[in-house]
Amino acid sequence: MDNPNPKPIKRIGVLTSGGDAPGMNAAVRAVVRTALKQGIECVGIRRGWSGLINTDFMRLDNSSVSHIMNKGGTILYTARCMEFMTREGREKAIATCKMLGLDGIVAIGGDGTFRGALALTRQIAESGYYLPVVGIPATIDNDIGCSNYTIGFDTAANTAIECIDKLRDTMQSHERCSVVEVMGRHAGFLALYVGISVGATAVLIPEREVDFEQDVVEKIRRARLGGTTHFMVVVAEGAGSAVEIGKQIHEAIGIDPRVTVLGHIQRGGAPTGRDRETASRMGYEAVQALLSGKGNRIIGTKAGALTDMDMEEALAMEKKLEMYRYEVLEALTPGI
């Protein structure tokens, strides 16, 4: 949805919503600094869409975003807001937008963030008011269909890899099996990437139905016959409970696995260079999109280059896991 009546953009809002992802601060910084250089004021909306309902905001200037790109989390805080899913909640949000005199919003988050943006702009359009929203994909799951890459994935993957490498040291010393659960309720991008990177014996992902005997037990048996004395099983949370997988391994083979659930440690920590640089470019492009009169767009990556796509079209896209990566894992598993 492009602006039917283009007018100078004087003030924009920026928010972070949904689960936090390393690199969100770098994106906020890029939006603010790019906008200020164009003479545009910036308002930070705190706690995601909830901030528009509850008038929770702050003025952002150059000093506000100094020294934040190396920090995990988000200085604007983030939240999931059930009230925003209702027309009444969005009416409150629209009233805040009008009160602040916003000419556009940059929303940083995942699928839920963008669906909220789409519902808001549609409701705004009914009243004849125009407020463009540009989305920046930031989620450690890397599951946004219109973008090859989402902010936070690289940092989360490296955090998991570092933790698993340390676990492997003790597993190898004691000749044990370790079952590690990583994030990924609906997508196995993180689990499979990490599994290949740490040389896992087995990886369980939501996209592939689990055959416990073949996918776990037999792989451990063959690895043991091949001379391996320690085993690493990586489980995406959406593929099953690591605790239950550990119990099943014990019942089937008799070994006593050590279970580790990495949990929210994957969301924290200083973002990697890739996440900082990608977030900075996406933040810059989001402001450029608003300046060019574009609305309801999502900034994404394709073949290494940044693109912007219609939000409605983008949300209809499904991102499928490249199963050849699973074939790579199978080929590199010992004893198979």
Q: Are residues 78 and 103 in the same domain?
A: yes
Distance CA 74, CA 283 (A): 14
Question: Taking a C-beta distance cutoff of 8 angstroms, is the pair 271, 29 a contact?
Answer: no
Task: Classify residue 329: in a domain, yes or no.
Answer: no
Same domain, 209 and 143: no
Q: Is the confidence at residue 147, as pLDDT, over 90?
A: yes
Same-domain status, 199 and 176: yes
Whether residue 216 is contained in a domain is answered as yes
What is the rounded distance in angstroms from the CA atom of residue 276 to the CA atom of residue 152?
9
Same domain (yes/no): 145, 27: yes
Q: Which amino acid is present at 230?
A: H
Question: Does residue 117 belong to any structural domain of this protein?
Answer: yes
Give pLDDT, residue 227: 81
Number of domains in the chain: 2
pLDDT tens profile 192-206: 999 999 999 999 999
| Mean of pLDDT over the chain | 92
Q: Is residue 137 part of a domain?
A: yes
Residues 140 and 228 both lie in one domain: no
Q: What is the DSSP letter of 157?
A: H
Residues acting as catalytic residues: 141
Q: Give the Cα separation of 4 and 166 in Å (integer).
A: 56
Over residues 107-141, the pLDDT tens digits come to: 999 999 999 999 999 999 998 888 999 999 999 99
On whether both 136 and 285 belong to a single domain, the answer is yes
Q: Tell me if 286 sits within 8 A of 203, measured CB to CB.
A: no
Beta strands in 183-282 (DSSP E): 202-204, 231-236, 258-261
| Cβ–Cβ under 8 Å, residues 267 and 186 | no
Q: Residue 93 corresponds to which tokens in the numbers above?
A: 């949000």
Residue 90 placed within a domain: yes
The arithmetic mean of pLDDT across residues 72-90, rounded, is 93
In single-letter form, the type of residue at position 165 comes to: D
> Does 67 score more than 60 pLDDT?
yes
Q: What is the CATH number of the domain that holds 59?
A: 3.40.50.450
Residues 117, 82 within the same domain: yes
pLDDT band for position 334 (cuts 50, 70, 90) = low
Same domain, 237 and 188: yes
Q: Residue 66 has what pLDDT?
A: 96
Looking at residue 176, its pLDDT comes to: 80
Residue 203 lies in a domain: yes
Confidence tier at 41 by pLDDT (50, 70, 90): very high
Q: Are residues 148 and 113 in the same domain?
A: yes
Confidence of residue 5 (pLDDT cuts 50, 70, 90): low
Q: Is there a single domain that holds both residue 144 and residue 31? A: yes
pLDDT the model gives residue 17: 95
For residues 134 and 105, what is the distance between their CA atoms, to the nearest angstrom? 6
pLDDT for the residue numbered 175: 67
The answer to whether residues 116 and 189 belong to one domain is no
- Does one domain contain both 249 and 164? yes
Q: Give the best-scoring range by mean pLDDT among 149-158, 217-226, 259-268.
A: 149-158
Q: Which domain holds residue 90?
A: 11-152+271-315
- Which of 267, 296, 328 lies at the terminal end of a domain, its last residue? 267
The strand pair at 133-137 and 297-302 is best described as: parallel
Specify the 3-state DSSP secondary structure of 257: coil
